[in-house]
Amino acid sequence: MHFSERRPGFALRSWRRWCSAVAALAVLVACTEGGGAPQPVVDVKDRVPGARVDAGYPRIGAVYLAQENLPGPEVLARYDVVVIDNEWAHRVDASFFDTVRQLNPSIKMLAYVSLTDYPVELGTQEYYANRYDLWQYQDGVSSTFPQEWLARTAAEDQPVSEYPNSLMTNLADVAPEVNGQRFLEYGADWVSRRVWSSGVWDGIFLDVWGDRIYSADAEQWDVDGDGVDEPDSEIYGRGNPWERGVDEAERLMRAAMPDAILVANGQRTFRGGQIDGRMWESFADDQEGRDPVEDLMGYVNTAALGDHREPGLTITLDRRRDEMPLTATDARRARFFLTGTLLQNGFWAGAGLDYAELSYYDEFDGGGLGRGYLGMPLVANPTWEDLQAEFRDGVGQVADGVYRRDFEAGIALHNASGERRTVTLEGRYRKLDGTQAPAVNNGSLVQRVTLEPEDGLILLRTEG
């Protein structure tokens, strides 16, 4: 998840544990469309003559972590990048993944993995075959996983936990060896040997993967197994044992999986183009304690200037707040998060109330225009400095705290100011014609628009 010094955001891992508890009593069930009633996949070429189908914006994502069911291929194919649990590679036939890619040839499917949290119990081996292998379980409660590979305190001889009902592994490069191997080497090998080897994934999503772990329940622990506890300041942070271990594990995974997309969910410093990017969980969401402007600046510059593998892959992720039907507040929040993501080249994943529910907004396909309806951006890789400058040639500020980025077929406006702002445009644009927020997306022609605080707007170009 995206860690902050205050506290973690709504945890991807909390959904992982809840789903594990539910599925522990379940047998594998047939896949259902967990994202709600399926919507037809509308290919942009069917609605916009001459438009590309393999590229374009908005870029949208889906993070779906429920264990007991999986959305159908036609639902997943609506998205550009999808994160689902690595166990689905053996729970469903490979033809499932083939069908998704037939419906959307450009989709990227990432396997959810956590090497940080050792579960204290598991469901059945049939259901959790990969986890049984990683954590060396013989049944749901018995494991031979080496205790030396868990983070422990020397003074109290207690395991460290960074989340309830799990124990934290020791990814540091100075961690004790078992049979000549550290956990970071074992874990990196498992990712390539057990997950990537299935042949159905485009990449790996590494949860709880960063320079530091803020949520560990011990402020000092024996990171090197010498019987002396080291303080957090000597364990975490750039250049310290934990970060060096994460760095080494990334290098091992990259060497074993040169073509894999690797995305980290944590406050991770990129090194040497080893990983493709990171996720920003609860992106710009002040209701989760985030500072919207700080998040926006960090996201834009990390994606534009970070030492990630090119071209990079950044995901921003936010949850809906209210039950369906969609409220005006949640529609506004979706516009805000999506247009903020459009200021750089990320994929916005708008989750439901939790990570066992998908959301789909009019802005995703332009109210039926199709994937990638905005086309490509006029400025390929804007920085925060570019956004702060007065609007010119496709990117910049059009009012105090209102940012604009231009695309071939339209523009995105993002009001991060916290105040209502009115923007006058250089010509006439058309609003999207949608059904979820008709007061905003009503298909009207406009040359002047007013944006509420923490709101955004997508407008389409018109001829003439």
State the distance between the two ends of the chain, measured CA to CA, in whole angstroms: 46
Chain centroid to Cα 226, Å, comes to 37
- Could you tell me if residue 227 is inside a domain? yes
Name the phi and psi angles at 185, rounded to 5: -70, -45
The pLDDT assigned to 464 comes to 57
The answer to whether position 308 is within a domain reads: yes
> What does the alpha-carbon distance between residue 184 and residue 170 come to, in Å, rounded to a whole number?
8
Give residue 373's region: left, alpha or beta (phi > 0; psi -120 to 50): alpha
pLDDT at 163: 87
How many independent structural domains does the chain possess? 1
**Domain contains 79:** yes
Does residue 222 fall inside a structural domain?
Answer: yes
Largest CA distance in the chain: 75
Collapsing DSSP to helix, strand or coil, 194 comes out as: helix
CB 163 within 8 A of CB 169: no
pLDDT at residue 164 in the model? 86
Query: Is residue 315 assigned to a domain?
Result: yes
pLDDT at 463: 80
Q: How far is 376 from 242, CA to CA, in rounded Å?
A: 39
CA distance 288 to 272: 32
Q: Inter-axis angle of helices 328-342 and 292-305, to 10 degrees?
A: 30
Domain hosting 366: range is 12-376
Token couple for 408: 């071939």
Residue 411 maps to a domain: no
- In this structure, the chain runs to a length of 464
Which helix or strand (DSSP H or E) is residue 285 part of?
none
Full DSSP string of 320-379? --SPSSPPHHHHHHHHHHHHHHHTTT-EEEEE-SSTTSB---HHHHTTTT-TTTTBSBSS
Question: What is the full per-residue pLDDT of the chain (464 aa) written as tens digits?
Answer: 322 222 233 356 554 444 444 444 333 333 333 333 333 333 323 323 223 334 799 999 999 999 999 999 999 999 999 999 999 999 999 999 999 999 999 999 999 999 999 999 999 999 999 999 999 999 999 999 999 999 999 999 999 999 889 999 999 999 999 999 999 999 999 999 999 999 999 999 999 999 999 999 999 999 999 999 999 999 999 999 999 999 999 999 999 999 999 999 989 999 999 999 999 999 999 999 999 999 999 999 999 999 999 999 999 999 999 999 999 999 999 999 999 999 999 999 999 999 999 999 999 999 999 999 999 999 999 999 999 999 999 999 999 999 999 999 999 999 999 999 999 999 999 999 999 999 999 999 999 999 999 999 999 999 85
Q: Give SS3 for 267.
A: coil
pLDDT computed for residue 26 by the predictor: 36
Is 403 part of a structural domain of the chain? no
Residue partners of 110: CB distance under 8 A and separation at least 6: 81, 82, 83, 84, 201, 202, 203, 204, 205, 261, 263
CB atoms within 10 A of CB 357: 17
Please state at what angle helix 183-190 crosses helix 241-256, rounded to 10 degrees: 30
Which residue, 276, 203, 204, 267, is CA-closest to 237?
A: 267
The type of residue at 23 is: A
CA distance 149 to 74: 41
Burial class (CB in 10 A: 0-12, 13-18, 19+), 22: middle
- CB distance 119 to 165 below 8 Å: yes
Q: What is the CATH number of the domain that holds 207?
A: 3.20.20.70
* Res 6: pLDDT: 26
Radius of gyration of the chain (CA): 23
Among residues 130, 134, 133, 176, the alpha carbon closest in space to that of 151 is found at: 176
